[in-house]
Amino acid sequence: MADSDPACSRVLVIHAAPEAFAPSTLQILAKLGYGLFEPDAWALRADDYDRPDCFLVDERHMGEVEDDGGTSIPIIALTGRHGVTGADPRVMGAIRRPAGVHELYRVLQQGLEDTPRTAPRAPTHLPARCRREGHEWRTAILSISENGCLMRSPDDLLLGAQIEVDFELPREGRIQVQGDVAYQLVPDVGVVFNAAPPRVRQAIQLYVGEALATG
């Protein structure tokens, strides 16, 4: 478990063995900007930060986490399939071991962020085709999550426009999904995928996880 520098966006102290996490989960969280510390490493680096943002705690190690007596630092419990009882008010969420990155990311975002994302996003450069009202043109996908993508398009797109996006993923092959042009990050546009079927969401999840783990 690698330590992180003071530039990380959120600090997580981990009271759990590596086996409590699915493969690549901690590696991907670090790529997403989370600072990850084991308790001993945190004790050496605590002066670099105000306090942790959250504890990730195997439920079998809850006794290791002391209440600091002030505003409680929230806990995400790593549990068995029965979850938690709610007896500890510090616990803001629970995830079944081994904790996967997508489930853990959602709970972290919902619990810690004012404007949470529901899914991690990976930078990329995927060639794509768009279709709208019989017109087809080439674009490039600059970042992607299971919920949508950031796209650079030579054609002007109005906010609210409905389009079809067609692209290839290395393992999964061709993906086709409907989307709405939801926002601009000039000169690019953000597309929110509409009612993507489970196969498409799972394929994008796999791609995002691999891209973040190896990037």
pLDDT, residue 24, reads 93
CB of 50 closer than 8 Å to CB of 9: no
- Domain 10-112 classification at class level: alpha beta
pLDDT, residue 172, reads 86
- Select the highest-mean-pLDDT range: 2-6, 69-73, 157-161, 205-209: 205-209
CB of 116 closer than 8 Å to CB of 126: no
Residues with Cβ < 8 Å from 75, sequence gap 6 or more? 54, 55, 56, 57, 62, 65, 88, 90, 91, 92
Domain ranges of the chain: 10-112, 122-214
CB of 152 closer than 8 Å to CB of 139: yes
Which band of pLDDT confidence, cut at 50, 70 and 90, is reported for residue 66? confident
Which band of pLDDT confidence, cut at 50, 70 and 90, is reported for residue 70? low
Q: What is the CA radius of gyration of the chain?
A: 20
Q: Enter the pTM of the model.
A: 0.73
Residues facing residue 152 across a β-bridge: 140
Q: What is the DSSP code string of 79-100?
A: E-TT---S-STTEEEEEESSBP
CB of 159 closer than 8 Å to CB of 184: yes
Whether the domain at 10-112 and the domain at 122-214 fall into the same CATH topology: no
Which band of pLDDT confidence, cut at 50, 70 and 90, is reported for residue 1? low
Task: Please give the CATH number for the structural domain made up of 122-214.
Answer: 2.40.10.220
pLDDT tens per residue, range 108-162: 998 998 888 888 999 999 999 999 999 999 999 999 999 999 999 988 888 889 9
